[in-house]
Structure formats: C-alpha cells, structure tokens
C-alpha cells in the first residue's frame, strides 16, 4: 500500500467509524450525551464536538497547502474554532449532520491528493498563534491518528453508558 492509498483508507475508516459512533450515540438521550463523565472533554457530546472542531482546524490548515485543494474550498464559509473545548453543537442531530458533511469532505479531499502533495512542507499557526512548518504527510498521519485517539475515548464513554459501538478495528476495512 502506498501513502496515497493509506490516506484514502484512513479517510474511509474515519467515515465508517464516525457513522458507527453517531449511530450508537443516537440511542442515548440528550441528558445522557451531555452528562459530565469526567472525561477530558467532559461528556460524550463534548468529545464528539472536539473531534469535529479539531478536524475543522486541520482541514482549514490543509486548505492553505500550495496544491490548493478544490475539495476544501467550502471550508472558507466556516469560522476557524478558537477553542477546541467549546460546545459548538449542543444538539447531537445537528452535530451528526455536520460530522457527515465533514466526513464526505475528507473522503473527497483524500481522493484528490497526489503523491507530490505529500512531500511538501505545510506552514501554519497552532492554536496559540505559534508558526510551524512540518512535512505534510506527517501532518496527515497526525490528523487521522488524532481522530482515532478521541474516537477511542468516545467509544469508551459510550460503553460506560451501556452502548456497544461494535467492531472498531481498521482491520475490518482491509481486504
């Protein structure tokens, strides 16, 4: 598997897992989703919000890549989050719709990547305004790893709430 195929696989995994997580979350009441479970982002809803906000921040950074990815142009209509702990979506249904839109955008963007795009450096500012320049492929690996990490937290919180997300292994998508 080459790097482009790996990124495409991760985009598919992201969409597959988010559908499973949101389906599981949809079985809980709003109060159960918002309950403070002593997690880093408080609640299941807080954790899922963080994932959507983090993805938005990174995708907006990726939109600044010299390749000018057409698939990311619609992000210009969305404000860059200033705080990754904010509850941008207090309603799970609204958040689920936004998540589905983001996941489709990620999938289309991943399929538009070219091998030469991966070898460039991307300059960006972190959330504290500090300038950075890192290899783009490494940032993509971080992007998908960040999703997996926090989805793991969300699945743990869902399990503690009595909801089984089911199989979460990437292995399920590898032929």
Q: Are the C-beta atoms of 99 and 14 separated by less than 8 Å?
A: no
* Token pair belonging to 114: 């070219």
The model's pLDDT over 87-122, given as tens digits with 9 standing for 90+, comes to 999 999 999 999 999 999 999 999 999 999 999 999
pLDDT of residue 17: 97
Number of domains in the chain: 1
CA–CA dist 100, 122 (Å, integer): 26
Q: Rounded to whole angstroms, what are the CA distances from 125 to 58, 119, 131, 172?
A: 10, 19, 4, 36
Average pLDDT of the chain is 96
Place of tokens 């597959």: 16
Alpha helix segments (H runs only) across the chain: 3-25, 30-34, 44-62, 92-110, 115-118, 136-160
Residue 164 exposure: Cα atoms within 13 Å on the Cβ side: 2
CB 86 within 8 A of CB 120: no
Residue 175 has pLDDT above 90, yes or no: no
Q: How many CB atoms sit inside 10 A of residue 88's CB?
A: 16
- Domain containing 130: what range? 3-173
- Global pTM reads 0.95
Q: What is the pLDDT of residues 20-72, one digit of tens each?
A: 999 999 999 999 999 999 999 999 999 999 999 999 999 999 999 999 999 99
pLDDT(158) > 90: yes
pLDDT of residue 78: 92
CATH value at residue 63 = 1.20.120.450
pLDDT category at 153 given cuts 50, 70, 90 is very high
Per-residue model confidence as pLDDT tens digits over 75-92: 999 999 999 998 999 999
Dihedral sign computed on CA atoms, order 84, 139, 151, 108:
positive
């Amino acid at each position: 598997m080459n790097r482009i195929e790996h990124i495409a696989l991760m985009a598919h995994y992201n969409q597959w897992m988010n559908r499973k997580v949101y389906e599981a979350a949809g079985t809980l009441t709003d109060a159960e989703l918002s309950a403070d479970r002593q997690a880093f982002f408080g609640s299941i809803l807080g954790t899922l919000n963080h994932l959507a906000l983090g993805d938005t921040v990174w995708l907006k950074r990726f939109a600044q890549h010299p390749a000018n990815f057409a698939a990311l142009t619609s992000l210009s209509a969305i404000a860059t989050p200033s705080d990754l702990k904010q509850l941008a979506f207090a309603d799970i249904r609204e958040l689920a719709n936004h998540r589905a839109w983001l996941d489709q955008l990620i999938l289309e963007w991943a399929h538009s990547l070219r091998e030469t795009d991966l070898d460039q450096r991307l300059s960006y500012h972190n959330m504290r305004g500090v300038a950075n320049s890192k290899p783009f492929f490494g940032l993509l690996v971080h992007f998908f790893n960040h999703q997996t990490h926090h989805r793991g937290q969300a699945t743990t919180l869902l399990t503690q709430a009595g909801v089984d997300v089911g199989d979460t292994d990437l292995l399920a998508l590898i032929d």
